[in-house]
Amino acid sequence: MELDPIDYNQINNSNYDTARNITSPGMYYLTENISNTNGIIISSDNVTLDGQGYFLNITGNCGVNSTNHNNITVKNVKITTTSYSGIYFKNVNFPTVENNTINTTYLCSLWGSGYNFTVINNSMSSGFGGNYGLEQLTTYKVVGNTINGKPIYFYKNEENIGEIPSDASQIIISNCTNGQIKNLTLDENAVVIYIGDSSEITVENCTIKPNIYRDYDIYIINSENCNVTNNTFGISENTNFGVIKSYYSNNIKISENTLNGMAMGFVFYKVTNSNIFENTFENVYGVSIGEQGGVSDVYVYTNNFINSTRMDVENITFNSPANVSYLYNGAVYSGIAGNYWNDYSEPEAIINNGIWSIPYSINELVNDSYPLVKEKPDDGKIHLTQTDFDSETGYIINKSGTYVLDENITCGMGIGINANDVIINGWRHCLVRTGLEESAGIYILDGTNENIEIKHILLKNWTVGLSAPYNFMEHPNSDISNMVVSDCKFECNNIGVVSIGSENTKIDSCEFINNTNEGPLPLGAGMLIQDSNANITNCTFEYNERGTFLEGIDVTIDSCSFINNTNGLIPSMLHNGTVTGCKFENNDYGITTSDFAIVKIDVQENTISQNNFIENDCGLYLGGINNRVYLNRFENNGQNINSISLFGNYFQSPEVTYEYEGETYKGRLGNYYGEELGTSNAGIFEKPYGIEGILLRK
């Protein structure tokens, strides 16, 4: 009896060893789940492999791979591999990878090179990688793909691409201009940032610690005028990786980044006219900076190299190209500056304006001729380093003076102030909590404290970043006056700043980022202010559970930004306060007097004027009485204004003199609501604007 021929277009376990090598054009289907050491090889043009939702579990090599073929489609396959890429295409033109689920511990779930690559709606556990170049990438279509549920963002041929969304897992930019990668956490199993053939791309304030092996976090290829600044590069499960690799690029600036615990720092090939400055390289156990040829006019200066002194360089210069400012002995100097090396050891060297007189030998070919000195100077200030802090109790200030942080500090409690006339200057260093659950970064002890100034410091991961007084939940008998906080950053605390009962507090030019209720306090806010005569100016509040609780008498908040918070500004017990010149954008509530953490709402005789409310779910949710709201702009909000007190507030100014189209008028002015309300008479629409049943003039 003659047997029916085997249909190798139907791939199953019984015919897999033969059918897995596809050598002819056509449609091929998985008809059941398959587990095998070897993956499917596509050795023909014009092939479609449809998994029909079945699993392909491969333990020995790639799930699906093809080399030097065209017009290949892989779709609807659930691929798991333990050794290599889920799908690997080399020099394949017109491939399509669609609706697949690809799980692999390898660096790339999908790796490809070739032209006209279409990658749509794939769910991956690791990155999308390949031999990228301008000619290839600009022919790609990459849409709707994710790594562990977070989107891959792909940009090509765009000018002014703007800020990258905060949920990115991987960012690929080709032939674009003016993009900002800011405030992201990038920790997926991938080369998380690729910048190719582009200009004016900035990577800033990100935490970057992808779980990769023998590759780099960021690639900058054939690009110019790009900046990588103030990022933290950390380690994940694998540490045998580098941070930045750049080819054929010009005018690249890499500054103020922190590297700790990886195998490689930065590597360059044919990079020109670039600067690496004010970075910290700590415990980089391989090559901190390397070059692979063709490098010119690359300068490395004012960096800290701590247990990270191995370099593979010949043509890189380890000092500034011109005079720069640097700090020594409490004073700022200007001159040609090199770098700080923690293993510098020249007993006969002397110090000249903060620079050692004998060069630091980097290798047989390269020296740092201007190595910087880092020490506790004898300048009348109290210089604090990690050794001054108890691991649990921190450091207590018991006498007047200026206190300076000379390095980043970690401790269970931070700095306690028990004196008058105290200045704390962080010099941009970070005070980070470790250990105690309920703790404060800087706190003012019970008693009378006057003339406190805190500036230039990052307070991170505390229950309360700055607490005045310390036991604010118990409202102790403290008398705090004339406290100034300027140019500080409060990040990832339960509450950034708490000030209760203080007088004449000034908070200026500070940042409050990602302060949430993930901690022992249920509040979660950038600031809690319960003061009199407080003045908050030029501050930024982003990604907080609440931007600011504002309470007290004669409190002013001016020229501040509230962006991407749950609730932006929450006045609760506030009398005679002023909110002016602020921006409220993309919050659930821009300003609201209703929050579950508020026990009592007593909001009276406050002024809310000349603010911008943009794209909030609700711009202004207002209770209380005798508050005035005028000359504000409400645009594209889900709801502009919701007034709890139906007849208690005034949505117009006192009588004022104003100009409109060259004429001078006298009258009361309302707000702009983003719509026309009839015709305009002297700049005022004839129709009223309705809020909660009240008709209010615009």
Q: What is the pLDDT of residues 377-425, one digit of tens each?
A: 565 788 787 878 988 889 999 999 999 886 788 898 999 999 999 999 8
Q: Are 482 and 450 contacting, i.e. CB atoms less than 8 angstroms apart? A: yes
Instruction: Tell me: pLDDT of 6 over 50.
Output: no
Output the six-digit token pair for 110.
Answer: 């999908």
CA dist., res. 678 & res. 676, Å (int): 6
Output the six-digit token pair for 460.
Answer: 């991170």
Mean per-residue pLDDT for 172-196?
95
CA dist., res. 140 & res. 119, Å (int): 8
Query: How confident is the model at residue 214, as a pLDDT?
Result: 79
344-380 pLDDT, tens digit per residue, is 888 777 767 788 889 999 999 999 999 998 765 565 7
CA dist., res. 247 & res. 398, Å (int): 54
Output the six-digit token pair for 223.
Answer: 């690009």
The residue length of the chain stands at 698
More confident: 574 or 509? 509
Output the six-digit token pair for 639.
Answer: 């709801």
Residue 476: Cβ-neighbour burial (10 angstroms; 0-12, 13-18, 19+): middle
Phi and psi, residue 163, nearest 5°: -85, 135
The identity of residue 163, as a single letter, is E
Query: How confident is the model at residue 234, as a pLDDT?
Result: 87
Query: For residue 454, what are the CA distances in angstroms to 405, 424, 426, 551, 557?
Result: 11, 5, 8, 22, 19
Instruction: Tell me: pLDDT of 3 over 60.
Output: no
More confident: 469 or 634? 634
Query: How confident is the model at residue 694, as a pLDDT?
Result: 42
Instruction: Tell me: pLDDT of 132 over 80.
Output: no
Query: How confident is the model at residue 73, as a pLDDT?
Result: 98
Q: Which CATH number fits domain 410-657: 2.160.20.10, 2.40.50.1020, 3.90.650.10, 2.30.40.10?
A: 2.160.20.10
Percent of the chain scoring above 70 in pLDDT: 92
Point out which residues pair with 68 in neighbouring strands. none
Residue 694: Cβ-neighbour burial (10 angstroms; 0-12, 13-18, 19+): middle
Percent of the chain scoring above 90 in pLDDT: 64
58-98 pLDDT, tens digit per residue, is 998 899 999 999 999 999 999 999 888 999 999 999 999 99
Q: What is the pTM of this model?
A: 0.56
Residue 68 DSSP one-character state: S
CA dist., res. 299 & res. 320, Å (int): 6
Write out the CATH class of domain 136-317. Answer: mainly beta
Place of tokens 């706190």: 443
Q: Are 490 and 496 contacting, i.e. CB atoms less than 8 angstroms apart? A: yes
More confident: 456 or 602? 456
CA dist., res. 499 & res. 489, Å (int): 16
Return all residues near 405 (Cβ < 8 A) that are at least 6 apart: 384, 385, 424, 425, 426, 427, 429, 431, 457
Instruction: Tell me: pLDDT of 42 over 90.
Output: yes
Q: Are 642 and 691 contacting, i.e. CB atoms less than 8 angstroms apart? A: yes
Output the six-digit token pair for 483.
Answer: 């406290």
CA dist., res. 112 & res. 212, Å (int): 18
The CB density around residue 342, as the number of other CB atoms within 10 Å, is: 12
508-543 pLDDT, tens digit per residue, is 999 999 998 877 777 889 999 988 899 999 999 999
Instruction: Name the pLDDT band for 600 (thresholds 50, 70, 90).
Output: low
Q: Are 79 and 102 contacting, i.e. CB atoms less than 8 angstroms apart? A: yes
